[in-house]
Amino acid sequence: MTTRRRFCTWGAGTLLLAGLGVPSAFAAEARTLRLSHNLTTAHSVHKAMQVMRDRVLELTDGTLSIDIYPNAQLGNQRESVELVQAGILDMAKTNASELEAFDPIFSLLNIPYLFESGAHYYRVLEGDIGRDILGATAGKGFRGLTYYDSGARGFYATRPIESPADLKNLKIRVQPSPTAIEMVELMGASPTPLAFGELYTALQQGVVDGAENNPTALVTARHGEVAKFFTLDEHTRIPDMLVISEASWRSLSNAHRRALRLAAAESMASQKAAWQRASDAAVSTAKEEMGVEFIEVDMAAFAERTRPIRDRVASQSSRARRWIEAIEAQA
């Protein structure tokens, strides 16, 4: 069916349904979007996506629905984003580290110590800067819809890390992110990109000495069984991001787009408190049941080592520099 014929059919259906009392804004043909993520159904992000799904159904009178596929059923994060970019999959959960491979502008969200606190993080992402970054990949096959909190990241290892000097020559697992690799190198450690699912065995067998993540990884992935020291250096706050295919986005009516944007924003708000509860519970479990020691450190010493990353990203483009300056101004 040509675009012209589809439009005419849609218009006739709108008039007919309006006569039956159905809101004309949602009189278009019902749609179902497929959403992929690599988390379990117990994770706060999955539950937030369920909030979004239910809210979209409510806002669109049931004419727009979302089928959620957890546990990497449709592929890992990188594969899912590639499918979204190609227009084969509608939506996927990823994070700013993975997205560096698709657009270098996302490296700014991976800059160590860019966000001074959780409150600073939310001020930025819920404001104009956050919205601009979500739209940064428009025209590249996908765009962002919202962010989800994944906490402050720290180093955890089979030996204590109390200062940057303690990282010297340690093999540290990192995500496949150029910024994460550079950060670990500046600390004096050896970055080792490795799939998250392989990390437990790598820690157990001494392939790596440690990793960097938020405290929930100690419990959900059982890393606290083999890595008994967690350093609270809070080097990054890297958001998870929900992205949608440009092809899928263009195919939605304006009313469906507005409903999806609103539901996505509300799901972010719902996940904020849920994440904090999950993080607090993970810390308690790691301490009490796994015997993990949490180490307070001088964050300034770690931040000083990583300053060249902020300078490098700021020099990449005037857009990156403006955003970094604006983020710093909101601290």
SS3 67: strand
Tens-place pLDDT, residues 232-255 = 999 999 999 999 999 999 999 999
pLDDT of residue 24: 52
Length of the chain: 331
- Over the chain, what is the mean pLDDT? 90
Give the CATH number of domain 153-238+281-329.
3.40.190.170
pLDDT of 224 strictly over 60: yes
> 31: pLDDT confidence band, cut at 50, 70 and 90?
very high
pLDDT of residue 1: 41
CA atoms of 11 and 287, how far apart (whole Å): 61
- CATH classification of 3-95+137-149+241-277 is 1.20.120.80, yes or no? no
pLDDT of 5 strictly over 80: no
Parse the chain into domains and list their residue ranges: 3-95+137-149+241-277, 153-238+281-329
**What is the mean pLDDT of the segment spanning 310-318?**
93
Tens-place pLDDT, residues 68-115 = 999 999 998 889 999 999 999 999 999 998 898 888 889 899 999 999
CA atoms of 260 and 253, how far apart (whole Å): 11
> 155: pLDDT confidence band, cut at 50, 70 and 90?
very high
> 207: pLDDT confidence band, cut at 50, 70 and 90?
very high
Task: Please report the sign of the dihedral spanned by the C-alpha atoms of residue 196, residue 200, residue 206, residue 210.
Answer: positive
Helix axes 254-290, 44-59, angle to 10 degrees: 160
pLDDT of 230 strictly over 90: yes
Where do the DSSP E strands lie in 130-216?
142-148, 153-157, 171-174, 190-193, 210-213
**What is the mean pLDDT of the segment spanning 201-227?**
96
DSSP 216-235: HHHHHS-GGGT--EEEEEEE
pLDDT of residue 139: 86
Same fold yes or no, 3-95+137-149+241-277 and 153-238+281-329: yes
pLDDT of residue 59: 97
Percent of the chain with pLDDT over 90: 79
pLDDT of 56 strictly over 80: yes
Q: What would you measure as the largest C-alpha separation in the chain, in angstroms?
A: 73
The pTM assigned to this predicted structure is 0.84
pLDDT of residue 57: 97
pLDDT of residue 27: 58
pLDDT of 262 strictly over 50: yes
pLDDT of residue 28: 57
CA atoms of 80 and 86, how far apart (whole Å): 10
CA atoms of 20 and 13, how far apart (whole Å): 11
Backbone angles phi, psi at 135, to 5 degrees: -90, 5
pLDDT of residue 197: 83
